[in-house]
Amino acid sequence: MKSALGLLLIGLSLFGCDGFIDRQVFFPERAHYAAPADFGLTAQDVWLTTSDGVRLHGWHLPAAGSANLMLFCHGNAGNISHRLDNLARLHRAGVAVFIFDYRGYGSSEGKPSEAGLYLDADAAWDWAQDQARRQGGRVMVFGRSLGGVAAVYLAASRQPAGMILESTFTNLGDMAKVHFPLPGLQSWLGGRFNSLGRAPRVGCPVLMLHGDADDIVPFRLGQELYEALPQPKRFITLDGAGHNDTYLVGGSEYFTRLAKFVNNPIEP
């Protein structure tokens, strides 16, 4: 997650300017920088409509022999096309994926917001759940960075077979304290993007990964969120990984772990 919270955010947050805060958290890009075919992938374009009438776009990337489906909730910058290298590696590991863009990202309509993030996650869940049932499998939610907030929200309110979290955080207040440690800011923003508050309601196995060299979301915030999650769960430290290079630093072992969990989340 980009550390773009500025001093103006600090001042305006104290007056409850939610829209301004949202604009400092989300960094969408409209244009796709590449297509799935450029990475040797065959993807189905998926169009969803949220409960408040916003049309979203996503890609379904099936994998031979994989009944379970990973619902991929990406981070706060770019769009789904910026995850294509990651998606190609997941595909080679045998993981079927449905990735979607939040409102305001890529081809999805609307403007990003925290409230919209949860509505978008609900719509993506409904599609993924229906697709997984058709192919005789279940849905695993995956959330990286800000996407971890969407994943924890779904795991606390729905019934996924499992959840994978990567490089994610407790809440916006804790992130603000790290990057702008001013009095009162942490408590004021603690209820925003609050995975820590939802964590005890998660009712599925959890696999959590975090790089110990992450300079955006501190390693300790990942550990704190992990401690609040119920069993069964497992935490994996990615030695030497920063915030955006986790899957590269982790290498083949990283994808083997994810594929194993997606196929059998009972033992994280």
Q: What are phi and psi of 61, to 5 degrees?
A: -120, 95
β-strand partners of 56: 48
Question: DSSP state, 33?
Answer: S
At residue 182, the pLDDT reads 58
Structure token pair of residue 72:
């991929």
pLDDT class of 133 with cuts at 50, 70, 90: very high
Domain definitions of the chain by residue range: 37-170+197-263
Contact by Cβ (8 Å): 261, 233: no
**Hey, what CATH topology would domain 37-170+197-263 get?**
Rossmann fold (3.40.50)
Query: Residue 1 pLDDT more than 80?
Result: no
Query: Residue 6 pLDDT more than 80?
Result: no
Mean pLDDT for all residues in the chain: 91
Could you give the residue numbers annotated as active site?
145, 214, 243
Percentage of the residues of the chain whose pLDDT score is greater than 70: 88
Cα separation, 48 vs 83, in Å, equals 20
pLDDT digits over 57-81, tens only?
A: 999 999 999 999 999 999 999 999 9
Query: Residue 52 pLDDT more than 50?
Result: yes
pLDDT digits over 230-244, tens only?
A: 999 999 999 999 999
At residue 254, the pLDDT reads 97
At residue 178, the pLDDT reads 79
At residue 17, the pLDDT reads 60
Query: Residue 263 pLDDT more than 80?
Result: yes
Long-range contacts of 4-10 (CB under 8 A, 24+ apart): 5/175, 5/176, 5/179, 5/180, 6/180, 7/180, 9/176, 9/180, 10/176, 10/180, 10/182, 10/185
Q: Which of 165, 184, 145 is nearest to 258 (CA)?
A: 165
pLDDT class of 12 with cuts at 50, 70, 90: very low
Query: Residue 123 pLDDT more than 80?
Result: yes
CA 148 to chain centroid, in Å, comes to 4
pLDDT digits over 165-196, tens only?
A: 999 999 998 898 877 765 556 565 757 999 99
Query: Residue 19 pLDDT more than 90?
Result: no
Query: Residue 164 pLDDT more than 70?
Result: yes
At residue 20, the pLDDT reads 65
pTM (two decimals): 0.92
Q: Which of 83, 56, 192, 81 is nearest to 143 (CA)?
A: 83
